[in-house]
Amino acid sequence: MSEAVTNGSSESVIDLLKSHYPARYYGMLLSGADTLDQAFDVWSAVDVNGRPLADLTTLPAASALVPLTAEQFALIVGADHVWVDPQGQTLTYPGRYYARYDTTAAQPTIVTGWFDTWTLTTTANIGSAADMVPLSSEAWNARASNPWGVQSGQLVSYTPPPPVIPLKDQATSELGWISTQASMASAMGETFTDPMKVYVKAIQAIANGTDTTSTALPARPAMIMN
């Protein structure tokens, strides 16, 4: 290859490079490392910052490098830790930007974390790429503009559902309302109707745990005082 680079035409050199480095963009690992040390556009003979490569003949064979897509190569600028599976020679997080969510929750479900994985000094606690949603640069930059959730592998606008209040807590709160109504009725010389008295007992049973079968508070009866 050295002779072809020195003596061949530009077209023959490019053809030779393509035959040896078909992916065009590559990253290189240092021995024993788990992140890329360098990245190259081999066909253009420049590194990720656009600096010319001094000597293409010293590049390792393509089989010893990590192939990259054009998008990955562009995203490497400013990235300090591009994680690689050394055995498979593939990027551990091929998309760089990710949204994490509870994979066991009913969807849509809220995003629980945002990660620029290529800048993290460790990925021990963020989960695998397969358990997160990869994001484009545009989605990453827009992440603060809206409450986001995940549905079918995509980001969606998300409004969290209201919190579920335990039935006993609902009953206890309802007893507070009943007490207020009773005080008002007493002040006016009035009493609860029979349906209201039945309602009060039902609420008390839920609040004190006597009623263990109800799943919702009964409907309030009409408040007609005698």
Predicted confidence at residue 222, as pLDDT, reads 75
**Tokens at 180, concatenated:** 């207020």
pTM: predicted TM-score of the whole model, two decimal places: 0.71
The DSSP symbol for 53 reads P
> For residue 90, which of 73, 120, 68, 70 has the smallest C-alpha distance?
68
> For residue 46, which of 25, 60, 64, 19 has the smallest C-alpha distance?
25
Could you state, in chain order, the average pLDDT of each consecutive group of 10 residues for the chain (226 residues)? 46 86 94 90 94 89 94 94 88 97 96 96 93 96 92 93 92 95 87 91 96 95 67
Helix (H) or strand (E) holding 207: helix 194-208
Tell me if the bond preceding 134 is cis, omega within 30° of 0.
no
Predicted confidence at residue 11, as pLDDT, reads 67
CA distance linking residue 65 with residue 135, whole number of Å: 25
Runs of H (alpha helix) within 33-190: 70-75, 137-141, 167-187
Predicted confidence at residue 58, as pLDDT, reads 87
